[in-house]
Amino acid sequence: MLSPAARQALRLLGGLIEEGRIRKGWSREALAQRIGVGTITVRRITRGEPGVAIGTYFEAAALVDIPLFQQESPRELERELSRQQEKLTLLPSRVRRPAAEPVDDDF
């Protein structure tokens, strides 16, 4: 079950993709062909349906010139990815549950 914020984000992304498609003068069929999916999937994307793979959303967004992660260029996105990977290497590889606090039976 998606949170309301996640649902709104998907609907917004779908609307932006639809707007970009129209701005480019492409039919849904043309966008579907470029993505490599069927027109039904494109309709599901533009409605913001959660069952569509995130990669398909991202590909559609890239094709209609929707910037992902506020990048100005592919180089900037690559730099951001590199920075993020560096941060991950500094973090622990596992997260352990905190040990249960001992019960103090002394009254």
Q: Place 92 in a pLDDT band, splitting at 50, 70 and 90.
A: confident
Residue by residue, DSSP assigns 9-63 as HHHHHHHHHHHHHHHHT--HHHHHHHHTS-HHHHHHHHHT-TTS-HHHHHHHHHH
pLDDT tens-digit profile of 25-50?
999 999 999 999 999 999 999 999 99
Domains of the chain: 4-89 (1.10.260.40)
Q: Average pLDDT, whole number, for the chain?
A: 90
Enclosing H/E stretch for 70: none
Q: Is the pLDDT of residue 3 over 90?
A: yes
Residue 97's pLDDT is 81
User: pTM, whole model, 2 decimals?
Assistant: 0.76
Q: Are 27 and 34 a contacting pair, CB within 8 Å?
A: no
